Amino acid sequence: MSESRMGIADPAAPAEVLAIGTEVVIGRIQDTNSSWLAQRLTEAGARVDRITAVADDPDLLENVWRDAVARRASLVLATGGLGPTPDDLTVEVAAAVAGVEVIQHPEVIASYRRRRELSESEPLPPHLYKMSSVPEGATVFENGPGWAPAFAIRVGETVLACMPGPPSEMQWLWEDSLGPLAAGWFGGRTESARVLVTMFESQVSPILGLVMDRHPNSYLKAYVALGSRNVGLPVDVIVRREPGGSELPEVMATLRALVESAGAEIRPWS
């Protein structure tokens, strides 16, 4: 919709993911959004350093955001707190952190009227009026399957981006708007592969460390919970792609050489 105070995220600085909602921190709702978004941010080329969950408490939320700004995070991608209930306070707190007022966004209101087939003279339902609120000057992204829009606003060197909590709406907004922006900010996709290594964790862990030492853009992780004592361990190989080509084949070659020199094998994961 509109774009004013967002700017661009710094690709060299880490990104963070934030889940907002008391229902999350008391364990009533499982936070699947954060893992989904962390994976997508990593694929876009971002380095995700933190995933945080916070209750619907304005002081706690403000402190979390101000701490991220003080750390000079490139992007804090938040979900939750954009609904019509009294405990949905994300807009108000984001505006306070950015030092701006809360406004009813005219393009969001126009979209609501169009989608509800309401004339200009008909009153807007109170819950829609609340969900048309955004921080003044924020970039606003229309929510196709839902009502509360996403928005993004810059505070210092950090972009605060806020998305609705329902996974279907969050995922739609990522694919439609915020995902393409993140890919542009962070330089494209991160490449990954999963293989099976016929070793125990104590045997493979030093090898993974050696690979990461030789290839600083790589991250390797063995998953004991998914392994078999008789077969081996699955290992994820994740490489941030830099301009000029892919380093994944080199990382895989290093891993294979070290594993084979230890008398073990790398097999396809299935």
**pLDDT > 70: percent of the chain:** 96
- 73 vs 184: CA distance, rounded Å: 17
Ranges 55-59, 144-148, 164-168: which has the least confidence: 144-148
- b or e along 134-173 (b: 16 or more beta carbons within 10 Å of the residue's beta carbon)? bbebbbbbbbeebbbbbbbbbbeebbbbbbbbbeebbbbb
Asked if residues 176 and 149 have their Cβ atoms less than 8 Å apart, the reply is no
Cα–Cα nearest to 206, from 260, 259, 249? 259
pTM for the structure as a whole: 0.82
Query: For residue range 65-108, what is the model confidence (pLDDT) as tens digits?
Result: 999 999 999 999 999 999 999 888 999 999 999 999 999 888 88
